[in-house]
Amino acid sequence: MAKKTETKKSLFSVEDENKEGKIVLLQQILKTKPQATVNDPVERKLHLLYELQLIDSAIDEIKILRGELPNEVKALEDEIVGLETRVSNIDADIKKTESDITKKKLEIKNSEALISKYEEQQKNVRNNREFESLAKEIEYQGLEMELSRKKIREAEREIEEKKESKDNAILQLGDIKKNLTVKQQELEKIIANTQKEEQVLDAKAEEYKEVIEPRLLNAYQRLRKNARNGLAVVEVKRDACGGCFNKIPPQRQVDIKMGKRLIPCEYCGRILVDWGDSV
């Protein structure tokens, strides 16, 4: 039998025909304290797991409501840090380049002073050899001045480019900060509307985790982690697994309905339960 494609569907999705019943059961669960003993029959243990699944699925619903907002906020915050670092690095580069320009201008002044000195010395030379030697020094200092002026022009262009890059980064930074403010406000609003409910559900989930056998709890948590929709315990609906929607043989359905032992789906591994219209 070809395995059916598993779709991402939460326990309380609109398409779930038992949504209202599950909500009512969840409300009852929140009003009572879970109890269990080592001698509990398998059916009772399955009920505890199923009730924990209802709680966890309700928590998942809240997280789905938040959507990608937490990740988007974090990404924008990281982007802001990156741009601020970029602006800071550009400022440091500009400062260094300006310092290099100052040094080159000082070198030009030194060369001008030397040229004046050599020209003055040429007036008092005793032979052509001394004159030519001073002329070479004057020529060398002239070349040094020209090279310094060239590097100054290049540095000035570099500063202009860096300033333009900085301005663009600042503009981008402003847009991202505005976007971040909007996303943060959206997230804060959702959190404000769901925080109390989530805290209640988290506390109830912890109560269940304390009374469920560690072996079963570990299996449940492992299944939830590997399932895209977070469903580890699912009902048999229309003769199929409520998680992967593959058909379940009639005899296996009878065994599941009896609830005498824990039976996983042979396709997706989820724990199967079938309590008719009890939910």
Name the percent of the chain in helix, strand, coil, to the closest 5: 70, 5, 25
CA dist., res. 32 & res. 26, Å (int): 10
pTM value surpassing 0.75: no
- Which distant-in-sequence residues (6+ apart) come within 8 Å of 42 by Cβ? 259, 260, 261, 262
Residue range 215-233: mean pLDDT, rounded = 91
| Percentage of the residues of the chain whose pLDDT score is greater than 70 | 89
| Percentage of the residues of the chain whose pLDDT score is greater than 90 | 62
Residue range 181-208: mean pLDDT, rounded = 90
pLDDT tens digits, one per residue of 68-96: 889 999 999 999 999 999 999 999 999 99
CATH 1.10.287.1490 region(s) of the chain? 69-193
Strand, coil or helix: what is 124?
coil
Q: Which CATH class is domain 69-193?
A: mainly alpha
Residue range 118-144: mean pLDDT, rounded = 93
- Which distant-in-sequence residues (6+ apart) come within 8 Å of 41 by Cβ? 259, 260
Report pLDDT for 40: 66
